[in-house]
Chain A
């Protein structure tokens, strides 16, 4: 990949050196001619559906950009693919799945729940649970200390008293 990028840079420098006409032909040769690369769908609802999806798909060439933001030719082809399929009635998640099947999860900005990513979702829940247990212990200890063991009051009650004082 770095090679190709370097070549592109070299090509751009070259094109600039030759002046405007060369630069123009170079750009035209690369631009996507796919029908919906630069054209919106006529149905606004479908276009909205398509653009929501396009904002969450990664351009394969300029990888920090979504295909909605990128002007790379391959992003144009991908936009057209998304719009054509939405127009045919495909669901956005079907299209995402089709692309992931070919390019892997990396092509999607929307995190997928997979064998690899489930800890990202599970760990915060575990932390919340640990925090709850620690705090509960602390409050119960405090409440017990405050009441000097006068009542063996239920935890729920002691916690409520604790809450009142706070």
Chain B
């Protein structure tokens, strides 16, 4: 056993195999390029679309007004639930659009997140008040229960309390028609 055995002759690969490393490298570059030029969308959307609104009962955010409970959202009418806050700048951007929706007869329920009554009053007087009721989600726990990842967000909830659509970010003027269509679909 002293003589070391001859290496078994290396089988020669096919000629094209010499291009294999280059091909793998180019595939890798392609993959990186896709990631660079089409970055992944990291918007966290709620997984509750098509599912019932979780049950909650929020106290009124302002004295003498309605709060918001999930029972209200099962009253047979389509609701638009708007998650907003006075400290949220894009919420100011979307308030004219919410005003128009309210004028068009859409019932808009508000959930104000981590807000104070004073700031909210100022916000509503400056930006208009399209809300049928505003629930105060001071701890932000209902926001988490809804699978909402920020403000503003808007949910279309049908008459049975099922979430039909979630709009992440502010509703811009060019998105009004789309929101109205989602509301119509939810009414069917």
Nearest chain B residue, comparing its CB with the CB of A142: B5
**Is the pair A77, B169 in contact by a Cβ cutoff of 8 Å?**
no
- Could you tell me which residues of chain B, from 104 to 162, have a CB within 8 Å of some CB in chain A? 114-116, 119, 138-141, 143-147, 149-150
Tell me the interface secondary structure of chain B in the complex.
loop
From A30, A103, A145, B149 is in contact (CB under 8 Å) with: A103
Residues on B with C-beta less than 8 A from A133 are: none
The stretch from B42-50, B71-79, B179-187 touching chain A is B42-50
- B43–chain A nearest beta-carbon distance, Å: 5
User: Are A33 and B138 closer than 8 Å at their CB atoms?
Assistant: yes
Measured in the bound complex, the distance between the Cα atoms of B45 and A10 in whole Å is 24
Closest to A99 in B: B144
Does B31 belong to the interface (CB within 8 Å)?
Answer: no
Q: Given A107-B44, A142-B5, verify A3-B90 contact (CB < 8 Å).
A: yes
Which residues of B have CB within 8 Å of A42? none
List of B residues within 8 angstroms of A66 by Cβ: none
Do A145 and B8 have beta carbons less than 8 Å apart?
Answer: yes
A-B contact pairs, 19 of them (CB 8 A): A3-B90, A4-B169, A32-B114, A33-B139, A34-B140, A74-B144, A77-B140, A77-B143, A80-B140, A102-B47, A102-B146, A102-B147, A103-B149, A104-B44, A106-B42, A145-B5, A145-B6, A146-B5, A165-B1
- Encode B23-50 as 1/0 by CB contact (under 8 A) with A: 0000000000000000000111111100
Interface residues on B, range: 35 or more
What residue in chain B is nearest A146 (Cβ atoms)? B5
A contact set with B: CB distance below 8 Å: 1, 3-4, 7-8, 10-11, 26, 29-35, 60-61, 63, 73-74, 76-78, 80-81, 99, 101-104, 106-107, 141-142, 145-146, 161, 165
Q: How many A-B residue pairs have CB under 8 A?
A: 97
Q: Do A102 and B90 have beta carbons less than 8 Å apart?
A: no
Contact B169 A103 (CB under 8 A): no
**Nearest chain B CB to A62's CB is how many angstroms away?**
11
Is B168 an interface residue when CB atoms closer than 8 A count as contact?
Answer: yes
> Is the pair A3, B114 in contact by a Cβ cutoff of 8 Å?
no
Distance in Å: Cβ of B156 to nearest Cβ of chain A: 17
> Which of A81, A104, A145, A146 has a CB less than 8 Å from the CB of B141?
A81
- Decide if A29 touches B6 in the complex (CB within 8 Å): no
Considering the chains assembled together, what is the distance between the CA atoms of A26 and B114 in angstroms? 12
Interface pair B149/A61, CB less than 8 Å apart: yes
Contact of A35 with B47 at beta-carbon distance under 8 Å, contacts A102-B147, A103-B149, A146-B1 already known: no
Establish whether residues B46 and A102, one from each chain, have CB atoms under 8 Å apart when the complex forms. Answer: yes
Q: Is the CB of B141 within 8 A of A34?
A: yes
- A-B pairs, top 5 by smallest CB distance, nearest first, are A77-B140, A102-B147, A29-B87, A60-B149, A34-B139
